[in-house]
Copies of this chain bind each other. A is one copy, B any other.
Amino acid sequence: MATIRDIADKLGISTGTVSKGLNGANDISEQLRQTILETAVEIGYRPKQMRTKDNQKLCIFIENMEYKTPEQFGYDIILGFRQAAYPARCGVTVLPVTPEFQASERYDTYMLKNGYIGAFLVGFALKDPWMAQLHNTSIPTTLFDNYIRKNPSVCYIGTDSFEGIDDGIEHLIRLGHRKIALLNGSEHSMITEQRRQSFIDSMTLHGLEVSEQMMPYGYFVAAAAKDHVANLLSLGATAIVCANDLLASGVIEECRLLGVKVPEDVSVIGFDDIPLSAKLNPPLTTIRQDRIELGKCGFYTLNSLINHVSVCKNLLRPQLIIRNSTAPVKK
């Protein structure tokens, strides 16, 4: 276990100055403070509050995701995390972050400076500054829907895409559908690639044909649907599986504009089961991710990492929620 003395010796300064740097005193320069923090991270120093079992401080960093009200995707994830953290007497801070904020300070030094012993990162993009730093961090970190290879301090949690997509496709097959399209999310996202591969695997497993034309990339928003729906219908799709519920809501709207009836003319399936899904017209059949469970798993896996159990991946079961946007194929 590295001590304040080790930091002082390495930098050739007094232990008193090191303490000031670690505790955020005003009478040393910001530059020296940063050097002290970075050295502390480098040699693996942990302040006292990070070594005791009670009142451990955890942080949820959230980006690209709304979470303030129950209708928003992130709300239940944070709630589930807090529900699991509470009996373990861990304090939880929720911090929205931007790429600019991440560029302004290293992840490890930010965590050390603020006494957080672990973090749950939600909604981050692959190109975010902190994502690159996670390859080398030794701070217990759980990521929702992002995966860092070979770092035993970092864990990925999410929902099993294959089981979800396959549930949807089996449901469509039972309804007589054979020409099934995938309207995917943005390219260069781990989840988009997972959904695509799951779709290919499931269709192949059931002996159905897949083609590039029937698996276009879009974006994870409703507006992305209008560029693709007419084309998919002209290719003969009788059902469209969408990479999330917002895209599915866009498909339903676009069909309405085109005079195509859902589900009589075309069946639509979403992914996520956000609160909006049940209120669409028609209510959306969708592959549910249980966000309360995801939040709880965020805490459980983070707690495992803190206790030196190096979880790599933790995936939850999805659940197909059948509503009215799917129906037997039109004869």
Q: Are B304 and A311 in contact (CB under 8 A)?
A: no
Neighbouring B residues of A304 by C-beta, 8 Å: 296-297, 300
Q: Is A10 an interface residue (CB 8 A)?
A: no
CA of A150 to CA of B149, assembled, Å: 27
One digit per residue, 1 when the CB lies within 8 angstroms of any chain B CB and 0 when it does not, for chain A 281-318 equals 00000000010010011001000100111111111110
Neighbouring B residues of A313 by C-beta, 8 Å: 160, 313-315
Closest chain-B Cβ to A162's Cβ sits at a distance in Å of: 9
Neighbouring B residues of A160 by C-beta, 8 Å: 312-313
Neighbouring B residues of A296 by C-beta, 8 Å: 304, 307, 309
Q: Is A163 an interface residue (CB 8 A)?
A: yes
Question: What copy number does this chain have within its complex?
Answer: 2
> How many A residues, CB 8 Å from partner?
24
Taking a contact as CB atoms closer than 8 A, the residue among B163, B311, B317 that contacts A315 in the complex is: B311
Taking a contact as CB atoms closer than 8 A, the residue among B293, B310, B315 that contacts A316 in the complex is: B310
Q: Is A167 an interface residue (CB 8 A)?
A: yes
Neighbouring B residues of A167 by C-beta, 8 Å: 150
Q: Are A297 and B311 in contact (CB under 8 A)?
A: yes
Neighbouring B residues of A317 by C-beta, 8 Å: 150, 152, 310-312
Neighbouring B residues of A297 by C-beta, 8 Å: 304, 309, 311
Q: Is A319 an interface residue (CB 8 A)?
A: yes
CA of A319 to CA of B300, assembled, Å: 22
Q: Are A319 and B152 in contact (CB under 8 A)?
A: yes
Neighbouring B residues of A310 by C-beta, 8 Å: 290, 293, 316-317
Chain B residue at minimal CB-CB distance from A290: B310
Closest chain-B Cβ to A203's Cβ sits at a distance in Å of: 17
Q: Are B316 and A314 in contact (CB under 8 A)?
A: no
Q: Are B300 and A309 in contact (CB under 8 A)?
A: yes
CA of A313 to CA of B310, assembled, Å: 14
Taking a contact as CB atoms closer than 8 A, the residue among B150, B163, B314 that contacts A311 in the complex is: B314
Residues of A at the B interface (CB closer than 8 Å) are: 149-150, 152, 160, 163, 167, 290, 293, 296-297, 300, 304, 307-317, 319
A–B pairs, 22, beta carbons within 8 Å: A150-B163, A150-B167, A150-B317, A152-B317, A152-B319, A160-B312, A290-B310, A293-B308, A293-B309, A296-B309, A297-B304, A297-B311, A300-B309, A310-B317, A311-B314, A311-B316, A311-B317, A312-B315, A312-B316, A312-B317, A313-B314, A313-B315
Beyond A150-B167, A297-B309, A300-B300, list 5 extra A-B contacts (CB 8 Å). Answer: A150-B163, A150-B317, A152-B319, A290-B310, A313-B314
- 4 smallest CB-CB distances across A and B, nearest first, come from A310-B317, A312-B317, A152-B317, A313-B315
